[in-house]
Every structure is written in C-alpha cells, then in structure tokens.
C-alpha cells in the first residue's frame, strides 16, 4: 500500500528540523519577552527608588514640622512675651533699652516696669553697647514714662493676645523665631531652604509660612515642598500650628 503524498511531506519536514522562518519568529518572540521582562524590572526598580525617596522626603518634612511644633509649644514661656530692661529709665523718657532683641513689634501694647498704664511701641532699633559689646533693643514709646524704672524691670508685651494685625499675634512671633530647616549643606543664609541627598539624588526642601489673615491672627500656616534638581515636586505637605501661648490668653 502506497503512503499518501501529504503524509510523506510531513514526515520529510519533521526530519529536516525548524525552518529559518520558524527560528526567526522564535528569536523575535524571545526578544520581545526579554525586553518586556527587563522593562518590568526597570520599572519595578524605579518605583522602589521613588517610593524610598518619597518616604525619606516625608520624614524630612515631618522632622522639621515637629521642630516647629516644639517651638510653638515653648512660646507660652514668659521670655517670649516680655524682656528685662537693659538700663535704668527716667521719668519723661520716651525710649527704654531691653535685653531681648526679638518678640517686639511696632504697634504692640506694652507695660514698662511699675507703670500702671499701657504704652505703645512706635519704633524699634537694635544697638550695641560699646562698653560691653552687648546688643540690646531700643524701644520707642508713644507716651513718656511717668515713673522711673530700674534695670531688670520687666517690659511686658500685651498685644499678642488680642492682636488686630497679622503682624502682632503669637503666630507672627513664632514665624520670626522658627528654626533653620534641617540641611546637609550650610543654609544659614537661606534658613527656610534645605538640601539633602536621597539615594544618590539631590533634593531641596522649601518651607513657606504665613499668618492666617483673619482674627485673631494666631494661626501659622506652614507649607512644605520637596523638589528634585529639575524642580519636579516629590512631596508636599501643608499644616497649621497654633502657639500654646494663645490658649493661655485671657
């Protein structure tokens, strides 16, 4: 019995192995598979690096925000709202010298030593005592003193509890005394901006603050943004901080 022509052709094809076309197709399929697998591996690695960088950036932000909150908690201490006189003041004086350079603003209500009436700050100037090379703050008053005051008497600021301006409350004071942003490089000249290398790439943390423009002007709005070298944002966080001193106001 003779073998059919079709069967003989199939047997012949099997004994001859793969054709060039079949090999080429197989290599193409394999190349596509390898390319897809490598692309997936690269993407997976990229996502892992990005996730790690995001975690580190958020930790960086959280660290600075905790420093801000810690300072806000300390604002309720007396030295943040008062200072001692640096020198004696006489009856009729319209200026007094105080030891603390920060915490005073134009328009603040202030009580000097044993004075019974509130006064108002109309000018501020930081000076240096040539005899001791010590800095002090000269405070100009709206009204002259009615009684003599000795050095170490207290100059007590009242306006921060009931401020009518966004520059006069505890939030404004906190904004002026914020710590420098944590940085791996010297940022003393740019205290609200820090730099840090995360997984071989340099990032910048920018802290922006503003006093909420609504009475009682005691809320400090804080915004953080971490960007890469190309200004591409990596992380951004906004928060509100209220100094503890405000809750102790009458």
**What are the pLDDT digits (tens) for 219-232?**
999 999 999 999 99
d(C-alpha 20, C-alpha 23), whole Å: 5
Quote the pLDDT of residue 41. 60
Q: Above pLDDT 90, what percent of the chain? A: 51
Is the domain of 70 the same as that of 179? yes
Residues 89 and 202 in one domain: no
Say if residues 169 and 160 touch (Cβ distance below 8 Å).
yes
pLDDT digits (tens, 9 = 90+) for 33-82: 676 766 666 555 566 878 899 999 999 999 999 999 999 988 754 444 67
Q: Tell me how many domains the chain contains.
A: 2
Tell me, yes or no, whether 23 lies in a domain.
no
Residues 110, 220, single domain; the answer is no
What span, in angstroms and rounded, lies between the C-alpha atoms of 87 and 126? 14
Residue 235's CATH number: 3.30.1300
152 and 182 in a single domain? The answer is no
155 close to 118: Cβ distance less than 8 angstroms? no
Q: Mean of the per-residue pLDDT values for the chain?
A: 84
Whole-model pTM: value is 0.58
Check residue 228 and give its pLDDT.
94
- Convert the pLDDT of each residue in 71-126 to its tens digit: 998 875 444 467 899 999 999 999 999 998 877 878 777 889 999 888 889 999 99
Q: How confident is the model at residue 197 (pLDDT cuts 50, 70, 90)?
A: very high
H or E element, residue 21: helix 20-74
Structural domain range at position 191: 60-77+172-247
Q: Is the CB of residue 53 less than 8 Å from the CB of residue 199?
A: yes
Query: Which tokens sit at 149?
Result: 């005051």
Q: State the residue for tokens 């006064």.
A: 119
Q: Indicate whether 109 belongs to any domain.
A: yes
Residue 47's pLDDT is what? 65
User: Of 158 and 235, which is predicted with more confidence?
Assistant: 235
Domain boundary among 101, 129, 159: 159
């Amino acid at each position: 019995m003779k073998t059919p022509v079709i069967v003989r052709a199939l047997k012949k094809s099997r004994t001859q192995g793969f054709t060039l076309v079949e090999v080429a197709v197989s290599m193409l399929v394999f190349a596509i598979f390898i390319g897809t697998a490598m692309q997936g591996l690269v993407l997976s690695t990229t996502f892992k690096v990005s996730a790690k960088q995001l975690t580190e950036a958020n930790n960086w932000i959280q660290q600075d925000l905790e420093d801000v909150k810690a300072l806000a908690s300390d604002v309720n201490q007396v030295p943040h709202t008062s200072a001692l006189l640096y020198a004696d003041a006489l009856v009729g004086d319209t200026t007094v010298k105080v030891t603390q350079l920060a915490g005073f603003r134009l328009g603040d209500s202030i009580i000097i030593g044993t004075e019974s009436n509130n006064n108002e700050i109309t000018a501020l100037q930081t000076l240096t005592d040539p005899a001791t090379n010590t800095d002090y703050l000269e405070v100009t008053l709206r009204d002259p003193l009615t009684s003599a005051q000795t050095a170490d008497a207290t100059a007590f600021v009242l306006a921060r509890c009931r401020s009518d301006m966004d520059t006069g409350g505890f939030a404004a004071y906190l904004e002026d005394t914020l710590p420098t942003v944590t940085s791996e490089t010297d940022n003393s000249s740019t205290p609200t901006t820090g730099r840090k290398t995360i997984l071989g790439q340099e990032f910048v943390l920018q802290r922006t603050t503003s006093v909420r423009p609504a009475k009682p002007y005691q809320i400090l709005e804080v915004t953080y943004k971490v960007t890469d070298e190309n200004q591409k944002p990596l992380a951004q966080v906004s928060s509100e901080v209220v100094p503890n001193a405000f809750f102790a106001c009458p």
